[in-house]
Structure 1
Amino acid sequence: MGLITGLLTLPLAPVRGVAWVAEQVKQHAEQQYYDPALIQRQIADVDDAYAAGCLSDSERDRLHEDLLNRLFESQRRRRGEEM
């Protein structure tokens, strides 16, 4: 970025800063959401809640399906990063 361009776009610096922070927050949230270890712990928590009688069969199945979909998406994303 040249000096003139830098001076002309200086009023937009706060907007660029906010956009950068928002992107960092999004990336961190996605890393946590698709963390395989966290998903596996959540699956174990669902199994424990089911064993304790806190969940019905249909609730457990729905939660397992959601968590497995996240786990598969996590694996797909990791394969995409490796390529």
Structure 2
Amino acid sequence: MGLFTGLLLLPLAPVRGVNWLAETLYEVADRELHDPAVIRARLAALNRAYDDGEIDGATFEREEDRLLDLLEAPTPGTRTAYHLRGTH
């Protein structure tokens, strides 16, 4: 990027920073959502809540099915900023 281009794009720096932050947060959340260790910990917490009587059987079954589906689903590839912007 040349000096002239850099000066022209300088007012967009805050927008680019917010965009980078949003993309980074999305990637971290996506990785955590599909991390098997996190899903197993959530299953353990769900079992404890059921055993302690904090949730009923229907809620337990519904959440257990959802978590097991996440655990068995193929891990999606990491999306890059390139894919998030919709440009190819």
Identity of aligned residues (%): 42
| Cα RMSD (Å) | 1.8
Which range moved further: 48-57 or 58-67?
48-57
Count of residue correspondences: 78
The TM-score normalised by the length of structure 2 is: 0.73
In the TM superposition, residue 69 of structure 1 has moved relative to its aligned partner by 2.4
> In the aligned structure 1, how far is the partner of 2:28 from the partner of 2:75?
18
Structure number having the greater helix percentage? 1
The equivalent of 2:9 in structure 1 is 9
Partner residue of 1:76? Answer: 75
Aligned residue in 2 for 1:40: 40
CA contact (8 A) 2:34 2:75 kept: no
Runs of 4+ in 1 over 3 A off after TM superposition: none
Q: Give the TM-score of the pair, scaled to structure 1.
A: 0.76
Higher relative contact order (CA 8 A, sep 6+): 2
SS state of the match for residue 75, structure 2?
helix
Residue aligned with 1:12, SS: helix
CA distance in 2, matches of 1:10, 1:59: 52
5+ residue gaps, structure 2: 79-88
